[in-house]
Amino acid sequence: MQIRPPLSVAVALLIALLLGAIAGAQAAATITVSQHGLVFNQSALTLNKGDRTVFTNEDDVIHNIHIFGPGDREKDLGLQKSGATLSYTFGQPGDYMVRCNIHPSMRMSVTVR
């Protein structure tokens, strides 16, 4: 004769597995990077794939964020007026360089894991 666990035990195990899977999945974060005094407030940033970065322009001048990623991937976020915010989601793991096209000394590195 086969011994079978009661259905309630099987359901409880299934729920525990599902909750574990949900807890293990990392929610995407939003990180704010400010541009103030012609510098990024962080020189190096480590993010998880899918995290969103919000760039704020706290200067009185226009900036132009340009992102260079792995595999010659690049993205020009365009002109950013004083007080404006732009966001970018780093979708692929790798090493990125972020700079301002107008002020080339403004640079930061981003590592996406």
Per CB under 5 A, residues contacting Cu ion are 63, 100, 102-103
Q: How far apart are CA 30 and CA 85, in angstroms?
A: 13
Choose between 49 and 64: whose C-beta lies nearer to Cu ion: 64
Nearer to Cu ion, 48 or 58 (CB): 58
User: What is the Rg, in whole angstroms, of the alpha carbon atoms belonging to the chain?
Assistant: 22
Tell me which residue has its CB nearest to Cu ion.
100
Instruction: Show contacts of 12-18: CB within 8 Å, 24+ apart.
Output: none
* Beta carbon of residue 28, minimum distance to Cu ion (angstroms, whole number): 27
Question: Do 94 and 70 form a contact (C-beta atoms < 8 A)?
Answer: yes
The burial class, CB within 10 Å (0-12 / 13-18 / 19+), for 3 is exposed
Q: How far is the CB of 101 from Cu ion (least distance, A)?
A: 7
Give least dist CB 83 to Cu ion, A. Answer: 14
Cβ of residue 100: shortest distance to Cu ion, in angstroms? 3
Residue 48 or 85 having the CB closest to Cu ion? 85
- Asked if 97 and 66 count as a contact pair (C-beta separation under 8 A), the reply is no
* Nearer to Cu ion among residue 64 and residue 94 (C-beta): 64
